[in-house]
Structure 1
Amino acid sequence: MVVGGNTPETLEKHHECLKKQREAVKYRLKKLAARQSEITKKSSVIRESIIRKYQEIQTVLDKDLRITLSHLEMEERAAVSALDGLMERNCSLIQEIEQDLARLTVALNQVDTEPDTMEDMETVERVMDLLNSTDPSRVSLDEAKAEQILSLTNKMLLLICSQTPIIKKLTNSYSSDVFLDPETAHPKLIISPQGDSATYTDTWQQLPDLPGRFDTTLNVISLQGFSFGRHYWEIDVTGKTYWELGVTYPTIPRKGTTEDCWLGRGAESWCMEFFDGEYTAWHGGVPHQLPYTKRFCRIGVLCSFPAGLVTFLEADKMTPLFSFCAGTFSDCLHLALCPGHDHNGNNAKPIGICNAISPTSDL
């Protein structure tokens, strides 16, 4: 019997083929789950190792602090003890003077008694000697040593600050030079000759209507695209009241008023936006309102192909602002910028790429 033109033999072969494909997919699913478990365990081990190192650093610092303070406390105890001895001498002499005063009071009440002037002179001399020998300025801390300790601790602090945040040195090692492609820039954008900044102008420039040029949205993308590894850029947004920045596939729509032309509104791009004092992260047309009110000067953009991650950071302190878990990227990524329109005359400054310092040999 033939069903739909297929012989039983053909159907049997197709049935067997589907069973094999099902087993192949099940096996792949099993491998993916195993890989997921492996990554989770490996991440946990790495995390614990890093925590232990920070704890070891803290232990070393705490121990050194205890030793330093114990030396200072020994000096303090010695100085306090010396001053206690001097005060005791003064107290003893005061008691003797009180006794002499009492004696003299009695003598003054007895008119026929001659005062012992020699003894009075001896008391005066003893007081002068005591005052000279118990001068408070003769007892002091080793202030020169204290200044040296402060100087050394300050140098240690500067050294630690120069190495932190650790993630900044690491992230800067992913820096990749990019230049804006003027052939993609909207006609109301002025691209610097160096290709490192874009400025909005209210004048529509007479530029060739190239296929890759944005004609509605105020976008420009980088000439370079990246398809593997990790890449990091810092964008200067100082003084701006409106901007968008992120990464995009080269397939992002460039023409017309379709919403997908805007950064983050389609599946081809990921972006962070600042508008009217509010920050929003966008991808696939889905907005993520961010809880920040500070006006940042530099925004870092980190994309990691191995992790399938796009992260936006406050560049000075390397504080993560928002991360997209993009999974596996299907195309190369370009840096994308939008300086925004004049925004009521308050957004004239350019948006620029800050090329980070090349990684050093000690990274």
Structure 2
Amino acid sequence: MLLKHQQHLQRQRDSVAFRMKKLAAKQVEITTKTNAVKEKVTKKYEDMKRVLDEDLRITLTQLDAEHDATEKLVEDRIEECYHLTQELDQELSNIAAQMKKQETDIQNADTEKRISETLKATDPDLIQVDDFKNKQLLSLTINLLLFIRSQVPVTKKLFQSYAADVVLDADTAHPKLIISPKGDLATYTETWQDVPETASRFDTTLNVVSKRGFSEGHQYWEVEVGGKTYWELGLTYPSIPRKGHEEDSWLGRGKESWCVEYFNGDYTAWHNGVQHELPLLAGKPFTRIGVFCSFPGGLVCFLGADTMTPLHCFCTGTFTDNLHQALCPGHDNGGTNWKSLKICDASRSAPVL
């Protein structure tokens, strides 16, 4: 029986070893595919840069050609004036000689006429740049820039296709939070609200979670945070502690949740009680924060949604339960943090101010 058990364990070990080889091959396959996509995307951006560089070259060449033509016209007019001054200098010299000889028969009519015609023909106000065409050209360039800005970053278009319909669950909100009837606003108040006590309600930290969770696919949501000095938002399993005085009920302090915290200009990412300071983002205010989750990829990414600036990414490997969106609007922070946190329509970009 020991021999049979030994043979069985050996077969099991061989199966596990074979699985490890398959996983290693899968790792190589994933890396190869990712690198191939990165290479293709890089080439496309290089193509776009070449197209824009060529368009810039053509536009500047056209402007240079018109400038050269206008400049040549000005030079011709200067040359006409120069020749006339030479002729006038000669006539003045002749007049001086005639005066010495007391010759009074001076023929001024032709000279006066040539002076008048030359001054009229060389009037600088007659030489005009085509301002209307230049304004049109600048307008077209601005429109092109606006179009490009509307298309980039491309991750914005991708994430917008994953936009989730997030509705906050008032039955989970701390009693000092007011949740709007539509479930899209969370507002801090110093007054303890008269709300039913439920097992799902947070009673020590100013949290609220979404009504619906998700367990597959990709999800993206955005929260308007402009004008606030303190907030936390992220994702959590339903098992996050709701009661008591332990910090585990704070977003990101336990293994059940992931979050980014903003406090007085500083950003910090949290998971399982581990703090990740983000000093490069200090002092950068964003009006919207985006959260992207890839359930099959085990990925949670936080972004400054205004410009799709990456804040922090957590690579969790595998999620073990449904995920819910979660947020904390924070206390009043010395009277600087009364504004609500607002769930935005992530399928649409924020209006340009």
Global fold match (TM > 0.5): yes
More off after superposition, 214-223 vs 99-108: 99-108
Structure 2 unaligned spans of 5+: none
Whole-angstrom distance in 1 between the partners of 2:348 and 2:229: 30
Query: Which stretch shifts more, 156-165 or 132-141?
Result: 132-141
The reply on whether 1:156 has 2:147 as its aligned counterpart is no
Alignment of 1:261-276 (within 5 A): 261-276=249-264
**Contact map agreement 1:173 1:358 (CA 8 A) in 2:** no
Give the Å deviation of 1:161: 1.8
**Kept after mapping to 2: 8 A contact 1:264/1:270:** yes
CA apart distance, 1:269: 0.3
The 5 Å alignment of 1:122-141 reads 122-141=110-129
Deviation per residue, 1:75-101 (Å, 9 max, x gap)? 222222222222222111111111111
Matching residue of 1:85: 76
**What residue identity is the alignment partner of 1:196?**
D
Letter in 1 for 2:93: A
Runs of 4+ aligned residues of structure 1 deviating over 4 Å after TM superposition are none
Residue by residue, what CA displacement relative to the aligned partner does 1:247-305 show, whole Å, maximum 9, x if unpaired?
00111111212221111011110011112332111001000111221232211111111
CA 276–77 in structure 1, closer or farther in 2 if over 3 Å, else same: closer
What is the one-letter code of the residue matched to 1:217?
A: T
Q: Does 1:105 align with 2:96?
A: yes
1:231 to 211, 219, 222: 219
CA–CA distance in structure 1, aligned partners of residues 219 and 183 of structure 2? 18
Q: How does 1:93-242 map to 2 (within 5 A)?
A: 93-110=84-101, 113-118=102-107, 120-242=108-230
Residues 89 and 161 of structure 1: is their aligned pair in 2 closer, same or farther, counting only changes over 3 Å?
same
Shift of 1:48: 1.1
Q: Tell me if 1:287 matches 2:275.
A: yes
Q: Is 2:320 the counterpart of 1:330?
A: yes
Q: Please state how far the C-alpha of 1:358 moved relative to its aligned partner.
A: 6.3
Larger radius of gyration: 1
Give the number of aligned pairs. 347
In structure 2, what is the Cα distance between the partners aligned to 1:160 and 1:358? 17
> Which one of the candidate residues 338, 344, 352 is aligned to 1:354?
344
Q: 2: distance between equivalents of 1:55 and 1:312?
A: 27
Q: Contact 1:179/1:194 (CA < 8 Å) preserved in 2?
A: yes
Pick closer, same or farther for the CA change 1:32–1:44 going to 2, 3 Å.
same
Q: Within the alignment, does 1:321 sit opposite 2:316 as a pair?
A: no
Residue of structure 1 equivalent to 2:9: 18
What is the rounded CA distance, in whole Å, between the counterparts of 1:183 and 1:203 in structure 2? 17
Corresponding residue SS for 1:117: coil
Alpha-carbon distance, 1:353 to partner: 0.9
Change (3 A) 1:129 1:202: closer
What RMSD, in angstroms, separates the aligned Cα atoms of the two structures? 1.8
Matched position secondary structure for 2:135: helix
Q: Which string of whole-angstrom CA distances, capped at 9 and with x for unpartnered residues, describes residues 192-247 of structure 1? A: 11111222222223333322121212111111101111111111222222211100
Shift of 1:143: 3.0
1:324 alignment partner, SS class? strand
Q: Is the 8 A contact 2:286 2:306 kept in 1?
A: no
Residue 3 of structure 1 is matched in structure 2 by none
Q: Is 1:69 aligned to 2:60, yes or no?
A: yes
